[in-house]
Structure 1
Amino acid sequence: MLVFILNAGSSSLKYQLMNPISKEVLATGLCERIGIDGILKHEFGDNKLTLEVSMPTHKEAIELVLKTLIESEGKVINSIDDIDAIGHRAVHGGEEFASSVMVTPKVIETMKKLIPLAPLHNPANIMGMEICQELMPGKPNVAVFDTAFHQTMPDYAYMYALPYEQYTKHGIRKYGFHGTSHYFVSNEARGMLDKKHNTRIIVCHLGNGSSVSAVLNGKCIDTSMGLTPVQGLMMGTRAGDVGAGAISYMMSQEKLTIDQALDIMNKKSGILGISGKSSDLREVLQGMQDGDDRCRLAVEMVAYNIKKYVGAYVAALDGVDALCFTGGIGENSSLIREIVCAGLDGMGLIIDPTKNNKRSGKARDIATNSSAARIFVIPTNEEYVIANDTYKIVSGLEK
């Protein structure tokens, strides 16, 4: 089976063509600057292809991708008929979707009702589904939700201590994100532990967007992101946890509207806001090495925030069997892993400096032999989760 995996954003879209049974990736790529000028970056095998083509809308972008897969020098299949199904990343499923589902008119209608919870993401996700239905009629489409994995959280973990009516009337609660990554990594960790039952796993998905989850016996019981992705860890440009009083005071002092305050918290805060240099941790780490004190502060804040959540989730899980690092920062920054794990010996987490500093694109254990709990670095694979869920639903293996 070949699954076309689509992640449609507001002005971009990512895609892969994958066989979920063999895990073979035939092609992967990115369309950028949709509605502006248009750039397609297409990779297949060891080859790369970049095209500058006008993409007024997402429809032209998806048409170009399909044409590239079939006709151009980036060809990997003979026709659209070779594509068996389309799997879509869907950001917000609210409480309505606790698992991946076949895309139907009712599903799209429900997702439209959830747009207030994800105004930047859900409209683009829906658009991708509708365009694929138009361009590839009869092909099954499956929606895989970022929030679905976290729907197993107990009510005392996902509720905010606001008047209860804010939940019943408006659905204001913690939902969590990066669910496909947390699912994949925690499941891989269970395999590495060779222990499918009684597992207590903490997953740190660390990138430009970051979140931590506590996973008990394969089910999420808590996660750091909330109603929106801005809650939780300090991130590339997101503030993470900030007291409501600090926000209202900032708004008062700066004479800001709600939208202006949200723009600051989502796009001008985090690593960028503290360092004043970049949202890219690699540049900030270099700045710290060069003696920039604000870069040093940003790095230490990032690591401290992660460590606080790790400690909290060890308590929530009543112990820990494995701490996992994934995502661009989690997989590649040995220094962040080192700082996070420093002083966690009492929790049974002892990092091995030599193992930690070794580069590898594969899943590995970086704990000492004497560590009571394991510390894993596991490359995430969200696209495989989308492709595999699509395969199972289309094949009737998951009902």
Structure 2
Amino acid sequence: MRGKVVWFILGVLVGSLFVVSAYPTNSSVHYSVPVVRKINNTVPVYYIGDNILEYFVKTIRVNPAQNVGIPHVLVVDGSYVKNNPQLRKLVKKELLSGIPVIVIGNPRVINGTFKGQFFAELVAGRGPEGKPIKRATVYGYVTYPSNGILVGREFVSIDSVPEAIKEAYSWAVRNLKPNAGTFKLGVEPLPSGAYWSYKSQLDFTTGDNWKPYGRLNVRTIYYRLMNDNSSKYDWYDVHVKQQSVPGKELGLSDWRTAEMHTWIDADYYNPDGFLSAYEPTTTSGTTTVGVSIGISAGEDGAQVSASQSWSYTIPDVRVYDKSDYSQELAKWVHGIAPDKAVGMTAYQIEPGATLRFPQWEDGAKVWREHYGVIYARPPSWWEPGWCWHYTDEYWVEFRISMG
């Protein structure tokens, strides 16, 4: 009798398993293949490549002989275009007419499009668990005329491909000019006297790549000194805008911002790179710090005087100046109180530097930039010692060139 009962129970269990497998519930979602949720793009997306269709609801394949004209976004598979001169020529035409171009994969297809072009390439980094970061997943680029010259703005993401493309598309739409696709570089009256002219902006995000610790965002702005009356040198101002959004602010975890690391190395690639000025220096007990950078006539080969100034708040923050003129290095560590509001919410720092390069060295105006964050979290109630936990520094580095 006992044997029959056992066999009956086994039969019921096997039957239950069959029913569960025959009629899958939410518990079976782990075995399904994830589906990419397409972007319902309101702006037309033209594309070059074979793997773009899955990301957008509305797309149009580019005909190299076609003159689109209307404002749109071009999405390019970098590996598809790399060895095709006709398609590379098309990408160049789109860029020069003000169309935002998003490149998946190889970013070099947009480098060298025009003389003096700004280009920031992600060259190194390290994320959570020591994961190396060697390249970005998606690049975006847009150009437009300003004060009679062509300037650019670049977007870089290391997020996973579907999310990075979504971020790049949103960035492209925000930067799409009404006359994109039709404008031509005209002659505009230039200001007289020395002035700092906007050159470009680097927009970078880690997206969700560093979850649950937080997100690093960069919106650094670059300027070139115009009418400097010098036949020997060119000067550039770097206005860093580096933001940490910790996991606590994102609702992902209790990780907070503990430190933000930044450096600009003028002679990393070019031994003639020169650090003319930088700020801020070390602070203690202040709530606001001022930054004033630029050049003065008679110093460092300058024939004119020109400066830029701004300030940013440092509540419960101490700035440590690690710079070294003998190394042509501007370097800062911002120590942030993780138990205060500044560590638990989004916080932005804005140090800056002025760099000088020989004018006659074509293509040699290049330097390296570093952006990093250290996160901290308080111990859980059951942990002995009641000690805070700190991560290693998570960071990225860019090779910045000015054509």
Q: When the two structures are superposed, what TM-score results if normalisation uses the length of structure 1?
A: 0.26
Structure with higher helix content = 1
Higher Cα radius of gyration = 2
Structure with higher strand content = 2
